[in-house]
Each structure stands twice: as C-alpha cells, then as structure tokens.
Structure 1
C-alpha cells in the first residue's frame, strides 16, 4: 500500500513537472526575440524622425507594410525552405533573398513566425551556393528553384545575407538548430575573399568580377557602411577598415568631381586613369549606367544608415548636398521626384517611383532643417499602395529606418 501510494505520488509529481516544463518552454519561446520589433533605436545625436505622426502610428504603419510584403513575396520553396518571389514569373535573386532575411529578423517579436521564415530562407540560401565560393549565394533562380544565368554571386545579396545572420545571432542566439554567428562569419570571410578586390579594397559587383576592367569597377548602391563595420566587429578582421576607408574615399571623390551641385552618385563606377568615374553608357545594364538610376536610388538609404547608427560623418557633405538639391528640385514636393537623374540634376525619368522618393526620407533624417521635408516623405510613403517587389522592399526598409526601428550588430 505504501509502495502504491509512493508510486502514485511520484507519477503525479512527474506529471506536474512536465506541465511546468512545458509552460516554461512556452514562455521562453514567446520571449526569444531579444531585439523585438519595435526597437525605437536611439540614433546619432541631432538626427530626426517624422514629427507629424506618433511613434505608435509609425510602428503600426511598418507592421502593416510588412504584412502586405510578406503576403505578396514570401513564399514556400519546398520542405523547410522559403524564398522571395521577385517577379511575376516566380523567380528570385540573391538581392531579394537578403532583403527577406533582413525583414524577418527585424520584424521578430511582432511576427511570431519570424524565426521559422528566417531559418527557411537560410536553408534556401544554403541550397544555392555560388560556384566560386560555396558560402556565397548563386545570384538567380527560376520558379523551379534552378540556378539560371550563371551560378556566381552578387555582392549586395551576399552582404545583406551576412548582416542578417549577425542580427539573427543577436535576436535569437546561436545555440539552436542554426549557429547563426558561425554562419555569419563564414559568409563574411567569403565576401572578403571573393567580393572584395584586396588590391585596392573596393567592393566588386560580385564574385565573378575578377579580371579586366570589371575587377576594379564597383556599384555605389552596395556601399552598406554599417554592414562593413559590423563585419569587422564580428570577425576582428582589420581588412574591413580598408574597405570602409576606400568606400568613403570613392563617395567623396565622385561627389567632388562629378556631382558637387547635387550629391548624386551613379549606378556603376569604373576605375580609369587612376581615378574613379561614373561608368559609360551601357557598361553593364543600360544607357543610364553612369547616372542616378534604379540601382543608385537606394543610396540615400544605404549610406545614411551608417551615420544614423554609427555617427560617421565622412559622407555628411554629400548627403547634405543631396538633400538640399532634391528639396529645391521638387520644391519640397515628394510626388515630383522622378525615377532617374543625370549627375548634374537633369531629369530623364518620367515616373514618381516609391523606390526613388522613399529613400530620400532616410537621408532627410541627418538634420533638423529637413523636418518638414521628412514629414512629407513619410506621409507619401505611408499612404502609397503596393507596387512591385523592388519598390515595396525599398519602401519598407525606408519606413523601418524612418520610424527608428533599424538596428545594427
């Protein structure tokens, strides 16, 4: 009788412990996002955010845009994998993949499935290695998830994937199924080995650009200075300081020599006669390769984020000139921004694209003299309807930064 009573008590205690463990596990699962959205990051002193809307309203607007973006572009790619649908044919590119990984890690806490999405995107990236370095991602796949147009990499996709893995380590830790920090260091080292020209410390356009004039060319929309500094912090590799220094040198050389009246930077840059110059027409993509076009429209967002989170002033003159120019050019009316300008400020674009006006809201954050302009850009960006993958992605990134919810490693 005593044994039976003891066994019953033992079973009861065991059941209670199991229930307690399950409850504790559920609580832990619900609180695993250490940098849960919204973050409300304190940016560099003197910078601004929109003042014509409350912080809560900005957070809600970002959440709404994320929900729409996720519904339209985040898709399953077989068991345990996700990909980003970047065109109507159902294909994808590594640029889009990097965007998706950044969005999911930043929206964790608000989106309870964020880590599932992130891990699925990671699994897809690992399933599509570059033929030049397996830690980098093959740049393009079709709707059947087959590599097309070469299995080499694109630097911007590689950099965003690497940066997202660093954020994932901060967000969820690296003790789970995926060691995010080790994975981040692996791709960061691969970027240094294959996406960086270590003779002159420039960012290549991809791991394929290793010979001839292409080996010294670069793309200013890849100038993600906050990423580069995070790579240095994570790996303690001092070579990243060389890349940061050279990148800022190129920004200011282009500004001083080719766009001193506008601050605009071109889609592509070539190294010729011992100096960096805007690429000639049809260098890589089209006749506007040397102008401010659909690659460079991301520059006001990409370059400004380093100043916002790190306080680096090396591009502040270029950013200030660019802000003053666009306000004057459009008479402070965001709806008048067109999708394409020569570096002297002459417009050749004809549409008011989200991809062009939203990033100017980020660059406006550097100084209180831009407050009214920033408020206007926020309002236009927030009220805009969904377009295509590219426009909607840049719009969402810009709103994340403008609302104070961008953070770094």
Structure 2
C-alpha cells in the first residue's frame, strides 16, 4: 500500500472532524558569457562549505560497511542521487522545483522535504544543487498551510494546486526546516535567501502548530488538534537530530521538552509492547497517562498498530541521532531491533518483508527497499552487526528503482551508511 493512499484516507477523515583569479581575454570572456547564459535562472553563486562527500566521524564504536572502499560508497551514493534526481526532481514553473511523488505529477510535503534535504547534502558533487534547493524553497513558499503560513500545505496536484485540504504534515515541515538549517551551513545566509531566518520561521511555526505543548508531543500535522488526534503521534516523525538542531538554532528550550518526551515514548512502547523485537508502530495514542500502539483503523487501516509503511523509516531516523550525538537513550530499542531482524531473516536482507506486527509476526507480502535499507543504518550502532550491515549495503547499492518512496529512503540510508550525513 502506498503512502498517497494512506494520506488520502487520513485527510478525508481529519477534514471532517571563491576567490579565484582569472586571466581575462576575449576567448575567456566569450566562454564565460556563454556559460552564464546556460545557467538556470535564479542560481546563487555560493561555493558550498560542506561539499559531498563529507566522511563524517560518527559516534565512537559505530561502524560503516567494510566490504567496499569509501570511494566505492561515495560513488554509489552519487549514482543513486543521479537516478533519483532524473526520476523525481522536476521544474514547477519559473524558478521553482518540486518532487514528483506519483506518476500523475502530484506531490506531497513529505516528498518536498526529502528533495530539500537531498539537494543540500549533495551540493558540491552536484553543481546545480543550490539552484534546485532555492527552487524547492520557492515552491514551498508558494504553498503555505492555511493554519500557519510558514508551514507547507501537504498535497498538490499536477497543476501545482493545493488539494485535499491546505494543512500541513509534521514530517514534511520538519525536513524542510532542517534542510534550511543545513543550507545556512552549506551556503551561508547572505545571498538572495536568508536560509537561517527562513529556518527559524518554520521551526517556530512547528512549535506553535505541530507540537502539543501540554504533552510535548509531535502532532501528526497542524490540523490534529481535536480529541484523540491532538495527543496522537507518529514514531516515524521522531527525528531527534532535527529536534536538537531546532533547539540549537533558536535557543528555544521548549524543544528539550519535546526531545525528552520523544525518548520517553520510544522506550515506553519498546518495553511495554515490543521488548522482543524493538519494533515501533505506525501510530501511537495516549491511553490515560501512558502511550500505546494505535488501534486498528485509528487513522488509516487495520495496520495502524503495526510496523508498516510509516514506521519503516524509524531505523534511519532514530539511529541517525545516535550516530551524530551519541545520545544513547534509544540505544536499547535499536539494539533489540538489530538482534531481532538479523534472526528473523537469517541475516539475508532479501528476506525482509514490508510489514510486521510488533511481536514480529509477518504482515507484509513482499520485499521493499523502504524496509530493508533503513536496517543498514540501525546496524551501524555495533560491530557485532558488521556482516549484516555489509549485506544491507550491497543489497541497497545494487538495487533497481522501485518508486519515489522506496528510492528516497534507500538514498538517505546510503548517505548515512557511507558516512556522509552531517548535522547543523
């Protein structure tokens, strides 16, 4: 089942309720002018400060694939980026870009956040990265949520019109905000776009509209303010490294409350419902004073309490924070997750299925890169996972195109596995 279908159901229900010196001569001037004419409009000529590849030093004791060289990993990421860009990054009118989410040309803010993250990280390798990023930023600006103009309306059709309610989805908002912080580090904020100020604007809007400030939980979007929706949350939105960057960039200590509560929920679900697997569900609801997996059909379908097409991103999202900061509050859950999945599939990533109950029972019917590739990121926490990590890397790097969602998650998982993720 694809996320566009899930989001459609969700919306239907919720809407109801360089300094270089040149020797100038006539030939050089002519070539320079020709090059200028060939550059896409809106390009800001800022040299990247953190060009790909970065080869970031992760937390002590973490590992990377050992069956290939660093150069081979970098090249594999570049190849994946080239194919992703060709398939999904498209113009959206003068000076704008968007991410083609479906073959019909529609898009969602989740995809837009992915596009902004990928372009800023691949700068340096891709000489047009800032052009793409700025075009994606302009598209985001052109599609504000009705609830807060700094958040992004969650879906547009092939004519770039907002459809199915112009409200936001928290995951898209968070990735857009984080990408703007990275853009400030990458290109600085003295050009045509003040990336840092733009980041602060959306970060403050996320706090205002996407965070339940009585529970300090991440809402599902700026629309989720009534009844059980107001206190529900989605573990695939637990982007702890983003949250820490938001606090650092704004100085707003309320983000510490969100960070602490997020870790609390992770461990509450793990110890109470998935102690033998480490799996977290697609959705979580408040039950009295504690949190539990959402019941069947809470928002989308009977699998709302399962490890499904939302939660498959968790091994990438939560582990990335550990790799970058060393914060070990979620490490027990990740450790159990690694132990369980290796045993479940006999260390063969081709045997990973696209859905599980929290007790490990298979609910999916096939394989998906959205499921197997993030397990490579979680494997990076301990050297005991080296053979498993190597297998997941090889499977992911050699995989063919599946679709926007799978290809995006494979790309980001490879960026992290290769040591090329970096943080604000």
TM-score interval, smaller chain: over 0.9
1:305 maps to which residue? 320
What does residue range 122-141 of structure 1 map to in structure 2 within 5 Å?
122-141=137-156
What does residue range 39-118 of structure 1 map to in structure 2 within 5 Å?
39-118=54-133
Question: Are 1:339 and 2:351 counterparts?
Answer: no
What does residue range 28-47 of structure 1 map to in structure 2 within 5 Å?
32-47=47-62
Distance in structure 1 (CA, Å) of the matches to 2:255 and 2:45 = 36
Q: 1:330 to 1:15 in 2, by over 3 A?
A: closer
1:11-32 superposed Cα distances (whole Å, 9 cap, x missing partner):
xxx999x97xx89xx9xx8871
Task: Mark the runs of 5 or more structure 2 residues left unpaired by the alignment.
Answer: 1-23, 37-43
1:260 maps to which residue? 275
> Counterpart of 1:289 in 2: which secondary structure?
helix
| Aligned partner of 1:250 among 252, 260, 265 | 265
Deviation at 1:211, TM superposition (A): 1.3
Q: 1:328 to 1:239 in 2, by over 3 A?
A: same
2:299 maps to which residue? 284
| TM-score of the aligned structures, taking structure 2 as reference length | 0.90
Distance in structure 2 (CA, Å) of the matches to 1:137 and 1:341 = 31
2:204 maps to which residue? 189
Task: Mark the runs of 5 or more structure 1 residues left unpaired by the alignment.
Answer: 1-13
> Counterpart of 2:264 in 1: which secondary structure?
helix
1:10 maps to which residue? none
> Counterpart of 2:373 in 1: which secondary structure?
helix
Contact kept, 8 Å, 2:349 with 2:392, in 1: the verdict is yes
2:256 maps to which residue? 241
Distance in structure 2 (CA, Å) of the matches to 1:31 and 1:389 = 29
Question: Are 1:269 and 2:287 counterparts?
Answer: no
Distance in structure 1 (CA, Å) of the matches to 2:363 and 2:183 = 41
2:135 maps to which residue? 120
| Aligned partner of 2:192 among 165, 177, 180 | 177
Q: Which of the pair has more CA radius of gyration? A: 1
> Counterpart of 1:356 in 2: which secondary structure?
helix
Distance in structure 2 (CA, Å) of the matches to 1:307 and 1:201 = 21
1:169-197 superposed Cα distances (whole Å, 9 cap, x missing partner):
00000000000000000000000000000
| TM-score of the aligned structures, taking structure 1 as reference length | 0.93
What does residue range 254-403 of structure 1 map to in structure 2 within 5 Å?
254-403=269-418
Distance in structure 1 (CA, Å) of the matches to 2:160 and 2:78 = 29
Contact kept, 8 Å, 2:96 with 2:138, in 1: the verdict is yes
Contact kept, 8 Å, 2:180 with 2:198, in 1: the verdict is yes
1:3 maps to which residue? none
Distance in structure 2 (CA, Å) of the matches to 1:188 and 1:265 = 26
| Aligned partner of 2:171 among 156, 163, 168 | 156
> Counterpart of 1:245 in 2: which secondary structure?
helix
Could you list the structure 1 runs, at least 4 aligned residues long, displaced by more than 6 angstroms after superposition.
none
> Counterpart of 2:303 in 1: which secondary structure?
coil
Contact kept, 8 Å, 2:319 with 2:334, in 1: the verdict is yes
> Counterpart of 1:276 in 2: which secondary structure?
strand
2:214 maps to which residue? 199
Deviation at 1:273, TM superposition (A): 2.0
| Aligned partner of 2:236 among 221, 239, 242 | 221
Contact kept, 8 Å, 2:46 with 2:187, in 1: the verdict is no
> Counterpart of 2:90 in 1: which secondary structure?
strand
Distance in structure 2 (CA, Å) of the matches to 1:286 and 1:89 = 24
Distance in structure 2 (CA, Å) of the matches to 1:36 and 1:30 = 14
> Counterpart of 2:376 in 1: which secondary structure?
helix
Deviation at 1:266, TM superposition (A): 0.1
Question: Are 1:405 and 2:420 counterparts?
Answer: yes
Q: What is the Cα-based RMSD across aligned positions, in Å?
A: 1.8
